[in-house]
Structure 1
Protein backbone atom coordinates (compact mmCIF):
# COMPACT_ATOMS: atom_id res chain seq x y z
CA UNK A 1 0.00 0.00 0.00
CA UNK A 2 1.11 3.56 -0.70
CA UNK A 3 2.04 5.46 2.44
CA UNK A 4 -0.39 8.25 3.31
CA UNK A 5 0.57 11.89 2.82
CA UNK A 6 1.48 13.12 6.29
CA UNK A 7 0.25 16.61 7.12
CA UNK A 8 0.94 19.01 9.98
CA UNK A 9 -1.32 21.97 10.73
CA UNK A 10 -0.25 25.31 12.20
CA UNK A 11 -3.45 27.19 13.02
CA UNK A 12 -4.30 29.17 16.15
CA UNK A 13 -8.10 28.91 15.93
CA UNK A 14 -9.11 25.63 17.53
CA UNK A 15 -12.36 25.05 15.58
CA UNK A 16 -10.53 25.46 12.26
CA UNK A 17 -7.65 23.31 13.47
CA UNK A 18 -10.06 20.56 14.50
CA UNK A 19 -12.04 20.78 11.25
CA UNK A 20 -8.86 20.46 9.19
CA UNK A 21 -7.70 17.53 11.30
CA UNK A 22 -11.01 15.72 10.85
CA UNK A 23 -11.00 16.42 7.11
CA UNK A 24 -7.48 15.12 6.60
CA UNK A 25 -7.77 12.05 8.83
CA UNK A 26 -11.13 11.20 7.29
CA UNK A 27 -9.80 11.15 3.72
CA UNK A 28 -8.15 8.07 2.26
CA UNK A 29 -4.45 8.51 1.65
CA UNK A 30 -3.95 11.33 4.17
CA UNK A 31 -2.84 11.47 7.79
CA UNK A 32 -2.66 14.47 10.12
CA UNK A 33 0.38 13.71 12.24
CA UNK A 34 0.66 16.95 14.25
CA UNK A 35 -1.15 20.19 15.00
CA UNK A 36 0.17 23.42 16.48
CA UNK A 37 -1.56 26.53 17.80
CA UNK A 38 1.41 28.83 17.23
CA UNK A 39 4.59 29.19 15.21
CA UNK A 40 6.89 28.81 18.19
CA UNK A 41 5.61 25.29 18.97
CA UNK A 42 5.91 24.32 15.32
CA UNK A 43 9.52 25.52 15.21
CA UNK A 44 10.36 23.33 18.18
CA UNK A 45 8.70 20.11 17.04
CA UNK A 46 8.44 20.05 13.24
CA UNK A 47 12.20 19.72 12.59
CA UNK A 48 12.05 16.48 14.61
CA UNK A 49 9.35 15.02 12.37
CA UNK A 50 9.29 14.05 8.72
CA UNK A 51 5.93 15.36 7.57
CA UNK A 52 5.25 15.73 3.88
CA UNK A 53 3.12 18.88 3.96
CA UNK A 54 2.57 21.70 6.45
CA UNK A 55 -0.62 23.77 6.29
CA UNK A 56 0.40 27.18 7.65
CA UNK A 57 -1.87 30.01 8.73
CA UNK A 58 -0.46 33.55 8.49
CA UNK A 59 -2.18 35.41 11.31
CA UNK A 60 -0.74 33.57 14.34
CA UNK A 61 -0.13 34.83 17.87
CA UNK A 62 3.51 35.77 18.32
CA UNK A 63 5.51 34.94 15.21
CA UNK A 64 3.44 35.04 12.01
CA UNK A 65 3.17 32.14 9.61
CA UNK A 66 5.34 33.71 6.93
CA UNK A 67 8.29 34.12 9.29
CA UNK A 68 7.68 30.60 10.56
CA UNK A 69 7.93 29.18 7.03
CA UNK A 70 11.07 31.23 6.45
CA UNK A 71 12.74 29.54 9.42
CA UNK A 72 11.36 26.05 8.89
CA UNK A 73 12.34 25.96 5.23
CA UNK A 74 16.00 25.49 6.10
CA UNK A 75 15.27 23.10 8.95
CA UNK A 76 12.87 20.85 7.01
CA UNK A 77 14.16 20.82 3.41
CA UNK A 78 12.01 17.85 2.36
CA UNK A 79 8.76 19.34 3.68
CA UNK A 80 6.38 21.25 1.42
CA UNK A 81 4.69 24.35 2.86
CA UNK A 82 1.19 25.47 1.94
CA UNK A 83 -0.19 28.76 3.23
CA UNK A 84 -3.81 28.25 4.24
CA UNK A 85 -5.18 31.67 5.08
CA UNK A 86 -7.93 34.24 4.62
CA UNK A 87 -5.48 36.81 3.27
CA UNK A 88 -5.35 37.36 -0.48
CA UNK A 89 -3.55 40.73 -0.44
CA UNK A 90 -0.65 40.93 -2.87
CA UNK A 91 1.85 41.78 -0.14
CA UNK A 92 0.98 38.63 1.83
CA UNK A 93 1.09 36.38 -1.22
CA UNK A 94 4.47 37.51 -2.47
CA UNK A 95 6.05 37.63 1.00
CA UNK A 96 4.90 34.06 1.66
CA UNK A 97 6.29 32.81 -1.63
CA UNK A 98 9.58 34.62 -1.06
CA UNK A 99 9.77 33.05 2.39
CA UNK A 100 9.61 29.59 0.84
CA UNK A 101 5.94 28.65 0.67
CA UNK A 102 5.27 26.17 -2.14
CA UNK A 103 1.52 26.75 -2.37
CA UNK A 104 -1.09 29.32 -1.34
CA UNK A 105 -4.68 28.31 -0.68
CA UNK A 106 -7.48 30.43 0.75
CA UNK A 107 -9.44 29.05 3.69
CA UNK A 108 -12.70 29.55 1.83
CA UNK A 109 -11.65 26.84 -0.64
CA UNK A 110 -13.99 23.80 -0.60
CA UNK A 111 -12.67 20.81 1.40
CA UNK A 112 -12.16 18.65 -1.67
CA UNK A 113 -10.11 21.43 -3.28
CA UNK A 114 -7.87 21.55 -0.24
CA UNK A 115 -7.26 17.81 -0.39
CA UNK A 116 -6.57 18.04 -4.12
CA UNK A 117 -4.10 20.86 -3.45
CA UNK A 118 -2.27 18.82 -0.81
CA UNK A 119 -1.97 15.92 -3.26
CA UNK A 120 -0.77 18.19 -6.06
CA UNK A 121 1.79 19.80 -3.77
CA UNK A 122 3.06 16.42 -2.60
CA UNK A 123 3.43 15.35 -6.23
CA UNK A 124 5.63 18.32 -7.07
CA UNK A 125 3.11 20.98 -8.07
CA UNK A 126 2.50 24.43 -6.63
CA UNK A 127 -1.27 24.75 -6.24
CA UNK A 128 -2.80 28.19 -5.79
CA UNK A 129 -6.35 29.38 -5.33
CA UNK A 130 -7.53 30.84 -8.64
CA UNK A 131 -7.45 34.45 -7.41
CA UNK A 132 -3.90 33.96 -6.16
CA UNK A 133 -2.77 32.37 -9.42
CA UNK A 134 -4.16 35.36 -11.31
CA UNK A 135 -2.16 37.74 -9.12
CA UNK A 136 1.01 35.77 -9.83
CA UNK A 137 0.35 35.70 -13.57
CA UNK A 138 -0.42 39.41 -13.63
CA UNK A 139 2.83 40.27 -11.89
CA UNK A 140 4.77 39.31 -15.02
CA UNK A 141 2.98 41.77 -17.30
CA UNK A 142 5.17 44.61 -18.54
CA UNK A 143 3.52 47.87 -19.59
CA UNK A 144 4.45 48.86 -23.18
CA UNK A 145 6.93 51.78 -23.28
CA UNK A 146 5.39 55.20 -23.72
CA UNK A 147 1.86 54.23 -22.74
CA UNK A 148 -0.04 55.81 -19.89
CA UNK A 149 -0.71 53.09 -17.36
CA UNK A 150 -3.80 54.86 -16.07
CA UNK A 151 -5.52 54.41 -19.44
CA UNK A 152 -6.34 50.83 -18.47
CA UNK A 153 -8.48 51.99 -15.53
CA UNK A 154 -12.22 52.51 -15.72
CA UNK A 155 -13.77 55.80 -14.63
CA UNK A 156 -14.92 54.26 -11.36
CA UNK A 157 -11.45 52.86 -10.69
CA UNK A 158 -9.97 56.32 -11.28
CA UNK A 159 -12.52 57.80 -8.86
CA UNK A 160 -11.51 55.32 -6.20
CA UNK A 161 -7.79 55.78 -6.79
CA UNK A 162 -8.22 59.55 -6.63
CA UNK A 163 -9.87 59.24 -3.22
CA UNK A 164 -7.23 56.82 -1.98
CA UNK A 165 -4.59 59.36 -2.99
CA UNK A 166 -6.29 61.83 -0.63
CA UNK A 167 -5.93 59.44 2.28
CA UNK A 168 -9.50 58.20 2.47
CA UNK A 169 -10.14 54.78 3.99
CA UNK A 170 -12.04 52.04 2.15
CA UNK A 171 -15.12 52.83 4.24
CA UNK A 172 -14.89 56.54 3.47
CA UNK A 173 -14.49 55.87 -0.24
CA UNK A 174 -17.54 53.61 -0.14
CA UNK A 175 -19.54 56.33 1.60
CA UNK A 176 -18.64 59.02 -0.91
CA UNK A 177 -19.38 56.81 -3.92
CA UNK A 178 -22.46 55.20 -2.32
CA UNK A 179 -21.19 51.67 -2.82
CA UNK A 180 -20.32 48.90 -0.37
CA UNK A 181 -16.83 48.47 1.14
CA UNK A 182 -16.74 45.03 -0.49
CA UNK A 183 -17.24 46.63 -3.90
CA UNK A 184 -14.46 49.10 -3.13
CA UNK A 185 -12.11 46.23 -2.27
CA UNK A 186 -12.98 44.48 -5.55
CA UNK A 187 -12.21 47.64 -7.51
CA UNK A 188 -8.92 48.05 -5.64
CA UNK A 189 -8.00 44.45 -6.47
CA UNK A 190 -8.60 45.25 -10.16
CA UNK A 191 -6.56 48.46 -9.86
CA UNK A 192 -3.63 46.54 -8.39
CA UNK A 193 -3.79 43.99 -11.20
CA UNK A 194 -4.04 46.58 -13.97
CA UNK A 195 -1.27 48.81 -12.62
CA UNK A 196 0.89 45.84 -11.64
CA UNK A 197 1.36 47.01 -8.06
CA UNK A 198 1.22 45.20 -4.76
CA UNK A 199 0.13 47.89 -2.33
CA UNK A 200 -1.95 51.03 -1.89
CA UNK A 201 1.22 53.15 -1.68
CA UNK A 202 2.48 51.88 -5.05
CA UNK A 203 -0.91 52.44 -6.69
CA UNK A 204 -1.19 55.99 -5.36
CA UNK A 205 2.37 56.80 -6.40
CA UNK A 206 1.64 55.66 -9.95
CA UNK A 207 -1.56 57.66 -9.98
CA UNK A 208 0.08 60.86 -8.74
CA UNK A 209 3.00 60.43 -11.10
CA UNK A 210 0.94 59.70 -14.21
CA UNK A 211 -2.31 61.66 -14.00
Structure 2
Protein backbone atom coordinates (compact mmCIF):
# COMPACT_ATOMS: atom_id res chain seq x y z
CA UNK A 1 0.00 0.00 0.00
CA UNK A 2 1.42 3.37 -1.03
CA UNK A 3 1.07 6.13 1.55
CA UNK A 4 0.19 9.62 0.32
CA UNK A 5 2.92 12.24 0.49
CA UNK A 6 1.83 14.82 3.07
CA UNK A 7 3.13 17.90 4.83
CA UNK A 8 2.60 17.38 8.57
CA UNK A 9 3.78 20.67 10.10
CA UNK A 10 3.84 24.31 9.01
CA UNK A 11 6.88 26.40 9.86
CA UNK A 12 10.51 25.49 10.48
CA UNK A 13 10.94 23.13 13.44
CA UNK A 14 13.45 23.66 16.21
CA UNK A 15 15.39 20.68 17.55
CA UNK A 16 12.78 19.70 20.15
CA UNK A 17 9.95 19.85 17.60
CA UNK A 18 11.97 17.90 15.04
CA UNK A 19 12.61 15.00 17.41
CA UNK A 20 8.97 15.02 18.51
CA UNK A 21 7.78 14.83 14.90
CA UNK A 22 10.13 11.94 14.16
CA UNK A 23 7.67 9.75 16.06
CA UNK A 24 4.39 11.62 16.34
CA UNK A 25 2.58 8.26 16.38
CA UNK A 26 4.45 7.02 19.47
CA UNK A 27 1.31 6.47 21.57
CA UNK A 28 -0.66 4.51 19.01
CA UNK A 29 -2.33 1.31 20.22
CA UNK A 30 -0.48 -1.97 19.63
CA UNK A 31 2.74 -0.14 18.79
CA UNK A 32 5.07 -2.26 16.62
CA UNK A 33 2.71 -5.27 16.64
CA UNK A 34 2.03 -4.88 12.93
CA UNK A 35 3.69 -3.22 9.95
CA UNK A 36 3.29 0.48 10.70
CA UNK A 37 5.15 1.66 7.61
CA UNK A 38 2.04 3.32 6.14
CA UNK A 39 1.74 5.56 9.22
CA UNK A 40 5.11 7.16 8.52
CA UNK A 41 5.94 6.79 4.83
CA UNK A 42 5.18 10.02 2.98
CA UNK A 43 5.34 12.40 5.99
CA UNK A 44 7.53 15.48 5.63
CA UNK A 45 8.26 18.81 7.31
CA UNK A 46 10.77 21.65 7.18
CA UNK A 47 13.77 21.84 9.52
CA UNK A 48 16.53 24.37 10.14
CA UNK A 49 20.00 24.02 8.62
CA UNK A 50 21.66 23.29 11.96
CA UNK A 51 19.23 20.38 12.54
CA UNK A 52 19.96 19.05 9.04
CA UNK A 53 23.72 19.25 9.65
CA UNK A 54 23.37 17.67 13.08
CA UNK A 55 21.57 14.67 11.62
CA UNK A 56 24.21 14.32 8.90
CA UNK A 57 26.93 14.16 11.57
CA UNK A 58 25.22 11.60 13.87
CA UNK A 59 26.00 8.49 11.81
CA UNK A 60 27.45 7.83 8.40
CA UNK A 61 24.44 8.00 6.07
CA UNK A 62 23.10 4.96 4.28
CA UNK A 63 23.65 6.92 1.08
CA UNK A 64 24.12 10.48 -0.18
CA UNK A 65 22.78 11.57 -3.57
CA UNK A 66 23.21 15.19 -4.54
CA UNK A 67 20.96 17.26 -2.29
CA UNK A 68 19.72 14.36 -0.14
CA UNK A 69 20.94 11.68 2.25
CA UNK A 70 19.25 8.72 3.95
CA UNK A 71 19.68 7.62 7.56
CA UNK A 72 21.26 4.22 8.09
CA UNK A 73 18.79 3.25 10.84
CA UNK A 74 15.33 2.29 9.63
CA UNK A 75 12.28 3.41 11.60
CA UNK A 76 10.05 0.51 10.60
CA UNK A 77 10.24 -2.01 7.79
CA UNK A 78 11.88 -0.30 4.82
CA UNK A 79 10.99 3.25 5.96
CA UNK A 80 13.81 5.59 6.95
CA UNK A 81 14.54 9.30 7.25
CA UNK A 82 15.69 11.16 4.17
CA UNK A 83 17.01 14.70 4.56
CA UNK A 84 16.93 17.25 1.74
CA UNK A 85 18.67 20.52 0.92
CA UNK A 86 16.49 22.20 -1.71
CA UNK A 87 16.69 25.57 -3.40
CA UNK A 88 13.12 26.80 -3.72
CA UNK A 89 12.26 30.20 -5.18
CA UNK A 90 15.88 31.27 -4.74
CA UNK A 91 16.12 30.25 -1.06
CA UNK A 92 18.00 27.21 0.29
CA UNK A 93 15.76 25.25 2.65
CA UNK A 94 16.01 21.96 4.55
CA UNK A 95 13.50 19.15 4.97
CA UNK A 96 13.00 15.79 6.65
CA UNK A 97 10.84 13.07 5.11
CA UNK A 98 10.04 9.42 5.69
CA UNK A 99 10.57 7.41 2.51
CA UNK A 100 9.86 3.75 1.88
CA UNK A 101 13.07 2.55 0.28
CA UNK A 102 11.42 -0.63 -1.01
CA UNK A 103 10.44 1.76 -3.83
CA UNK A 104 13.66 3.14 -5.36
CA UNK A 105 11.74 6.16 -6.69
CA UNK A 106 10.43 7.12 -3.26
CA UNK A 107 13.17 9.67 -2.34
CA UNK A 108 12.91 11.31 -5.77
CA UNK A 109 9.12 11.42 -5.76
CA UNK A 110 9.30 12.98 -2.29
CA UNK A 111 11.79 15.61 -3.44
CA UNK A 112 9.56 16.57 -6.34
CA UNK A 113 6.44 16.68 -4.14
CA UNK A 114 8.12 18.93 -1.54
CA UNK A 115 9.44 21.32 -4.20
CA UNK A 116 6.06 21.44 -5.94
CA UNK A 117 4.18 22.06 -2.69
CA UNK A 118 6.55 24.78 -1.50
CA UNK A 119 6.40 26.60 -4.84
CA UNK A 120 2.68 27.27 -4.56
CA UNK A 121 2.25 30.94 -5.53
CA UNK A 122 -0.09 31.68 -2.60
CA UNK A 123 0.55 30.68 1.00
CA UNK A 124 -2.38 28.40 1.72
CA UNK A 125 -3.32 25.12 3.41
CA UNK A 126 -5.57 22.22 2.54
CA UNK A 127 -8.00 20.82 5.11
CA UNK A 128 -5.83 17.72 5.49
CA UNK A 129 -2.73 19.87 6.09
CA UNK A 130 -4.59 21.78 8.79
CA UNK A 131 -5.56 18.53 10.51
CA UNK A 132 -2.02 17.16 10.26
CA UNK A 133 -0.58 20.37 11.74
CA UNK A 134 -3.06 20.20 14.62
CA UNK A 135 -2.12 16.58 15.32
CA UNK A 136 1.61 17.39 15.14
CA UNK A 137 1.37 20.47 17.38
CA UNK A 138 -1.00 19.10 20.04
CA UNK A 139 0.56 17.89 23.30
CA UNK A 140 0.24 14.16 23.96
CA UNK A 141 -2.05 14.81 26.94
CA UNK A 142 -4.63 16.38 24.60
CA UNK A 143 -4.60 13.87 21.77
CA UNK A 144 -4.79 10.11 21.45
CA UNK A 145 -6.61 7.26 19.78
CA UNK A 146 -10.29 6.39 20.01
CA UNK A 147 -11.02 3.52 22.37
CA UNK A 148 -14.00 1.86 24.01
CA UNK A 149 -15.84 5.17 24.43
CA UNK A 150 -16.17 5.44 20.62
CA UNK A 151 -18.19 3.33 18.21
CA UNK A 152 -16.35 0.19 17.03
CA UNK A 153 -15.77 1.52 13.50
CA UNK A 154 -13.94 4.56 14.92
CA UNK A 155 -11.70 2.80 17.43
CA UNK A 156 -8.03 3.38 16.73
CA UNK A 157 -8.66 6.64 14.85
CA UNK A 158 -6.96 9.81 16.03
CA UNK A 159 -8.77 12.03 18.52
CA UNK A 160 -8.09 15.47 20.01
CA UNK A 161 -9.44 17.43 22.96
CA UNK A 162 -12.08 20.02 22.09
CA UNK A 163 -13.65 22.62 24.35
CA UNK A 164 -17.25 23.77 24.41
CA UNK A 165 -19.84 25.30 26.68
CA UNK A 166 -20.38 21.98 28.43
CA UNK A 167 -16.65 21.41 29.06
CA UNK A 168 -13.90 19.47 27.35
CA UNK A 169 -14.13 16.15 25.55
CA UNK A 170 -12.28 14.10 22.95
CA UNK A 171 -13.47 14.22 19.36
CA UNK A 172 -12.21 12.42 16.25
CA UNK A 173 -9.63 14.57 14.47
CA UNK A 174 -11.22 13.94 11.09
CA UNK A 175 -14.60 15.29 12.27
CA UNK A 176 -13.43 18.72 13.43
CA UNK A 177 -15.49 21.55 11.99
CA UNK A 178 -13.85 24.48 10.20
CA UNK A 179 -14.46 26.61 13.31
CA UNK A 180 -12.82 24.02 15.58
CA UNK A 181 -9.86 23.73 13.21
CA UNK A 182 -9.44 27.50 13.22
CA UNK A 183 -9.48 27.58 17.03
CA UNK A 184 -6.77 24.94 17.22
CA UNK A 185 -4.41 26.47 14.66
CA UNK A 186 -1.85 29.07 15.70
CA UNK A 187 -2.93 32.64 14.93
CA UNK A 188 -0.56 33.00 11.96
CA UNK A 189 -2.16 29.99 10.21
CA UNK A 190 -5.85 30.60 10.95
CA UNK A 191 -6.57 32.95 8.10
CA UNK A 192 -4.61 31.25 5.33
CA UNK A 193 -6.79 30.49 2.30
CA UNK A 194 -8.23 27.00 1.93
CA UNK A 195 -7.10 25.12 -1.16
CA UNK A 196 -7.88 21.72 -2.58
CA UNK A 197 -5.04 19.19 -2.60
CA UNK A 198 -3.26 19.12 -5.94
TM range (shorter): under 0.3
Larger Rg: 1
Q: TM-score, normalised by structure 1?
A: 0.24
Larger helix proportion of the pair = 1
Q: TM-score, normalised by structure 2?
A: 0.25
- Ranked by relative contact order (alpha carbons within 8 Å, sequence separation 6 or more), the top structure is 2
Larger strand proportion of the pair = 2
